[in-house]
Amino acid sequence: MPPSITRPFQSRPFQILVVEDSPEYALIVRQWLEEGDLAQVTLASDAMQGRAAFPTRDWDLVITDIEMPGGNGLELIQEVKAAHRWTCVLVMTGVVNAEYARTAVQNDADGMLFKPFAKEVFLEQVRKLAQLTRQRRQKERRSVLAVGAHPDDVEIGCGGTLSMHAARQDEVTILTLSHGAQGGDARIRAREAHAAAELLQARLILADLHDTMVPEGGASIELIEEAIAQIQPTDLYTHSQHDTHQDHRNTYRATMVAARSIANVYCYQPPSATVEFRPGLFIDISDHMQRKLQAIEAYSSQTALRAYLAPDLIVATARYWGRFAGYVMAEPLEVIRQRGR
Ligand SMILES: [Zn+2]
């Protein structure tokens, strides 16, 4: 069974990061926010702590003071927006200063409150902005599912594209249908698959179908449908039908059935692709080759045995395909469906 994945529900409490150096304000604000389960609050007592806490969660709102030890709250806004452009930032300050207000607007702050403020005014802003974050996140964040028959298929076929998605803060999941036990020790390959997924900032669902006997129907379709139900992908990547390996072709067929309602479906090129593989889309992975190579390197039990994992071949392949689109390096994709990208 693949691990279950928690989906966001509008009714769950807002996740709010409060960056505030005044302990009394921090405590009052926290008390207001936690009343009636409106929010779960994490407090950071200066900009540095705020910076450290930011990557740990998908915040619905960041509330920050301006003047604090260890850095300015106005700079924090820029950092938050650079990391998650949809996350709203509410600035609260005791200093009425036109320059601050101008900088806050320039840095895309979503709201500003001057201390002291009334509880109702504060909570109204919080509700509005936290809800806005959730709406923007839902609209802007793509959810990506890459399906492969064996560990390393996805990394070779579309590792650069997945790294590109991760860099854009899209939600990336890899579904690998077998442990690849015919190619090596299943436990070692599972460990390697997890390490590779982590490098691509992807979640891994590692299923346990029989390597070399991955079916085109039944269990394969069920696994893919289950992953799709959990992830609701906007974009799906899978094997091409133009492939000499039966597991790859069967994974393609099973995916085509399971993914019939997904807007964007693409097929990547593994080393076993035939000359019929005919891409119609090229993804610029020039900035992501390093990460792709690292992910492939994570399969160290295989890299010595399999010539197709050699870094120079991976790079040469990307260089070759890059020329079709004017990129230095590209991953080629066959387009099954593209209704919005
Ligand atoms: Zn494979």
Q: What is the pLDDT of residues 114-123, one digit of tens each?
A: 999 999 999 9
Instruction: Tell how far the Cα of 155 is from the centroid of ligand 1, in angstroms.
Output: 10
Instruction: Tell how far the Cα of 261 is from the centroid of ligand 1, in angstroms.
Output: 25
Mean pLDDT for the stretch of residues 59-77:
91
Contacts of 290 (CB under 8 A, 6+ apart): none
Which CATH number does 142-338 carry? 3.40.50.10320
Instruction: Tell how far the Cα of 249 is from the centroid of ligand 1, in angstroms.
Output: 10
Q: Does the pLDDT value for residue 210 go beyond 70?
A: yes
Residue indicated by tokens 């077998």? 178
Instruction: Tell how far the Cα of 151 is from the centroid of ligand 1, in angstroms.
Output: 7
Query: What's the confidence (pLDDT) of residue 5?
Result: 44
Instruction: Tell how far the Cα of 146 is from the centroid of ligand 1, in angstroms.
Output: 13
Q: How confident is the model at residue 285 (pLDDT cuts 50, 70, 90)?
A: very high
Instruction: Tell how far the Cα of 334 is from the centroid of ligand 1, in angstroms.
Output: 17
Considering 57-61, 185-189, 244-248, the range whose residues carry the highest mean pLDDT is 244-248
Residue ranges covered by each domain of the chain: 14-139, 142-338
- Is the whole-model pTM more than 0.85? no
pLDDT tens-digit map of 12-50: 899 999 999 999 999 999 999 999 899 999 999 999 999
Instruction: Tell how far the Cα of 76 is from the centroid of ligand 1, in angstroms.
Output: 44
Query: What's the confidence (pLDDT) of residue 301?
Result: 85
Instruction: Tell how far the Cα of 279 is from the centroid of ligand 1, in angstroms.
Output: 19
Instruction: Tell how far the Cα of 98 is from the centroid of ligand 1, in angstroms.
Output: 60
Q: Considering only 4-8, 108-112, 144-148, which range has the smallest mean pLDDT?
A: 4-8
pLDDT tens-digit map of 321-340: 999 999 999 999 999 999 86
Instruction: Tell how far the Cα of 239 is from the centroid of ligand 1, in angstroms.
Output: 9
Q: How confident is the model at residue 110 (pLDDT cuts 50, 70, 90)?
A: very high
Q: Considering only 62-76, 115-129, 239-253, 278-292, which range has the smallest mean pLDDT?
A: 62-76
Q: What is the 3-state secondary structure (H, E, C) of the chain?
A: CCCCCCCCCCCCCEEEEEECCCHHHHHHHHHHHHHHHCEEEEEECCHHHHHHHHHHCCCCEEEECCEECCEEHHHHHHHHHHHCCCCEEEEEECCCCHHHHHHHHHCCCCEEEECCCCHHHHHHHHHHHHHHHHHHHHHHCCEEEEEECCCCHHHHHHHHHHHHHHHCCCEEEEEEEECCHHHCCHHHHHHHHHHHHHHCCCEEEEEEECCCCCCCCHHHHHHHHHHHHHHCCCEEEECCCCECCHHHHHHHHHHHHHCCCCCEEEECCCCCECCCCCCCEEEECCCCHHHHHHHHHCCHHHHCCCHHHCHHHHHHHHHHHHCCCCCCCEEEEEEEEECCC
Query: What's the confidence (pLDDT) of residue 341?
Result: 61
Query: What's the confidence (pLDDT) of residue 1?
Result: 39
Instruction: Tell how far the Cα of 297 is from the centroid of ligand 1, in angstroms.
Output: 16
Query: What's the confidence (pLDDT) of residue 25?
Result: 92
Instruction: Tell how far the Cα of 243 is from the centroid of ligand 1, in angstroms.
Output: 10
CATH class belonging to 14-139:
alpha beta
Q: Considering only 47-51, 128-132, 236-240, 327-331, which range has the smallest mean pLDDT?
A: 47-51
Query: What's the confidence (pLDDT) of residue 10?
Result: 47
Q: Does the pLDDT value for residue 132 go beyond 50?
A: yes
Q: Which residues are found with C-beta within 5 Å of the ion, ligand 1?
A: 149-150, 153
Instruction: Tell how far the Cα of 166 is from the centroid of ligand 1, in angstroms.
Output: 23
Instruction: Tell how far the Cα of 245 is from the centroid of ligand 1, in angstroms.
Output: 7
Instruction: Tell how far the Cα of 142 is from the centroid of ligand 1, in angstroms.
Output: 26
Same CATH fold assignment for domains 14-139 and 142-338? yes
Instruction: Tell how far the Cα of 68 is from the centroid of ligand 1, in angstroms.
Output: 53
Mean pLDDT of the chain: 91
Q: How confident is the model at residue 273 (pLDDT cuts 50, 70, 90)?
A: very high
Instruction: Tell how far the Cα of 295 is from the centroid of ligand 1, in angstroms.
Output: 15
Q: How confident is the model at residue 9 (pLDDT cuts 50, 70, 90)?
A: very low
